[in-house]
Amino acid sequence: MDFPATAFDLAFGAGNRQTDLKGLVQIMAPHLEPAPPRTFVSRLWQVAAAVSVSLFAIAAFNPSKSDDAKAAAAGDNNSLRVCAAANELPYSANDESGFENKIANILASDLGRKVQFVWSDKPAIYAVRDQLNKNLCDVVIGTDANDPRVLTSKPYYRAAYVFIQRKDSPLKIDSFDSPDILKAHPIGFVQGTPAETMITKLDLYNDNINYVSSLTNFKDRRNSYTRIPPERMVGEVASGKSELAIGFAPEVARYVKANDALKLTVIPDNNVRDDGERVPFHFDQSFAVRKGDKDLLGAINAALPSMQKKIDAILKEEGIPFETPQPPT
Report pLDDT for 275.
95
**pLDDT value, residue 329:** 58
pLDDT computed for residue 226 by the predictor:
86
Residue 327 pLDDT: 76
pLDDT at 40: 39
Q: How many CB atoms lie within 10 A of CB 317?
A: 12
Give long-range contacts, CB 8 A cutoff, 24+ apart: 165-173.
Answer: 165/237, 165/243, 165/244, 165/262, 165/263, 165/264, 165/265, 166/237, 166/238, 166/240, 166/261, 166/262, 166/263, 167/260, 167/261, 167/262, 167/263, 168/261, 169/243, 171/243, 171/244, 173/244, 173/265
Residues 6+ apart with CB under 8 A from 165: 171, 173, 237, 243, 244, 262, 263, 264, 265
Please report the pLDDT score of residue 225 as a whole number: 78
Per-residue pLDDT at 21: 34
pLDDT for residue 77: 77
Number of helices and strands in the chain (H, E): 12, 14
Q: What is the pTM of this model?
A: 0.81
State residue 253's pLDDT score: 98
* Residue stretches of the chain with pLDDT short of 70: 1-76, 221-223, 328-329
For 229, the 3-state DSSP assignment is coil
Domains identified in the chain and CATH numbers:
160-279 (3.40.190.10)
